[in-house]
Chains A and B, each alone.
Chain A
Amino acid sequence: MHSDRNRPQLLIAAALWLALPLAAPRADAQAQPTYDPRAAFRETDTNHDGAVDHAEFEERMADVFFMADVNKDGSLSPSECSATLVQTENITAADSNHDGKLTLHEFERARLKEYDQTDTNADGLLELDEVVGAYEKGKQ
């Protein structure tokens, strides 16, 4: 169920679920959504300079965190994580103060590690080809 082969698709579906209004999970939540990494890139590149920098990325992650925090208590519980997009196996690693939930700071710090690994040319920015390329590679 949680094999590596299945995980990319699960993550993408979960991420798209986040974009829905914060209401009870929909009956069709299992339906495969349309996913467009280019659209995601455009939305994240708020200054439209063709690259996502750390500041834009962190702002995006704050938004993602907010949307995932269903009860709006300021942190992500394991159930909120598992219901949304955070890889459950990474919660423990990201939970630096070991309180069983993720703060925004912990969440962003974990995501920034992924940012660096996606930045394949190591210029400190995420370009569209890096984002799309990583997405395509992940689907394989």
Chain B
Amino acid sequence: MRRRRSTIAVSLIALLSVATSSCTQLSEGVQNNPKAVLGALGGAALGGGIAALAGGGTGAIVGATLGGALLGGAAGHYLDNRDKQLATQAAQKAFESSQSGQPTVWNNPDTGNSGSITPTRTYQLANGTYCRQYQQTIVVGGQQQQAYGTACRQPDGTWKIES
């Protein structure tokens, strides 16, 4: 009986356990970027229901991801295509394979822009579909902007921003 209790306890702790990942910090010191007019980002959220995060044309997808669902439409004006591509790749990786609390970071040395996306909660809909709440951070011109939302996994393996 005692042995069984110990085994159960270790099982529980094993379930709690995760490797302590090296949480890469967002790069700092992104300064003097001529594109940086972050004030425009705040009030321009367009809402969700936009395209999946992977598959199809990169430009359209990342525009939907960042411009529409995550940070507001104005963000697209201050991120170049490579920024958006990196952000999209980070988002897909974060949603599909990162545990909650673990940030996936992107950084474009050419523009100095960077960001991260961190799943914060995982749950299932009644039909078994996985959804993940997340926190998105983007740094443009040294200024940081945060957004929150929910993405749900589609049958084809892509993730759709729901809110």
Interface residues of chain A, those whose CB is within 8 Å of chain B, are 4, 7-8, 11-12, 14-16, 18-23, 33-37, 39-41, 43-44, 46, 52, 57, 59-67, 69, 72-75, 85, 87, 103-104, 111, 113-115, 117-118, 131, 134-135, 137-140
Please state if B14 and A12 are interface contacts (CB–CB under 8 Å): yes
Say yes or no for B101: interface residue by CB 8 A criterion: yes
Please state if B100 and A135 are interface contacts (CB–CB under 8 Å): no
CB contact under 8 A between A16 and B122, given known A117-B5, A134-B12, A135-B13: no
Please state if B12 and A40 are interface contacts (CB–CB under 8 Å): no
Count of chain A to chain B residue pairs whose CB atoms are closer than 8 Å in the complex: 133
Chain A residues near B101 (CB-CB < 8 A): 43, 46
- Interface size for chain B: under 10, 10 to 19, 20 to 34, or 35 or more residues? 20 to 34
Please state if A138 and B7 are interface contacts (CB–CB under 8 Å): yes
Please state if B15 and A16 are interface contacts (CB–CB under 8 Å): no
Please state if A140 and B6 are interface contacts (CB–CB under 8 Å): yes
Please state if B8 and A114 are interface contacts (CB–CB under 8 Å): yes
Please state if A62 and B19 are interface contacts (CB–CB under 8 Å): no
Please state if A12 and B7 are interface contacts (CB–CB under 8 Å): no
Most chain A C-beta atoms within 10 Å of own C-beta, residue among B3, B10, B129: B10
Give residues 1-39 of B contacting A (CB, 8 Å).
Answer: 3, 5-21
**Cα(A119)–Cα(B101), bound, Å:** 24
B120: nearest residue on chain A (CB-CB)? Answer: A46
A134: which of B6, B96, B121 is its contact (CB, 8 Å)?
B6
A137: which of B6, B17, B20 is its contact (CB, 8 Å)?
B6
Please state if B18 and A22 are interface contacts (CB–CB under 8 Å): no
B9: which of A15, A34, A67, A114 is its contact (CB, 8 Å)?
A114
Most chain A C-beta atoms within 10 Å of own C-beta, residue among B12, B21, B121, B123: B12
**Cα(A117)–Cα(B17), bound, Å:** 17
Please state if B14 and A22 are interface contacts (CB–CB under 8 Å): no
21 residue pairs A–B, Cβ–Cβ below 8 Å:
A7-B10, A8-B10, A11-B10, A12-B10, A16-B19, A34-B19, A37-B13, A40-B18, A52-B16, A73-B128, A74-B127, A74-B130, A85-B14, A85-B15, A115-B12, A117-B5, A117-B12, A118-B12, A138-B6, A138-B10, A140-B6
Please state if B122 and A66 are interface contacts (CB–CB under 8 Å): yes
Say yes or no for B42: interface residue by CB 8 A criterion: no
Nearest CB of B to A32, in Å: 12
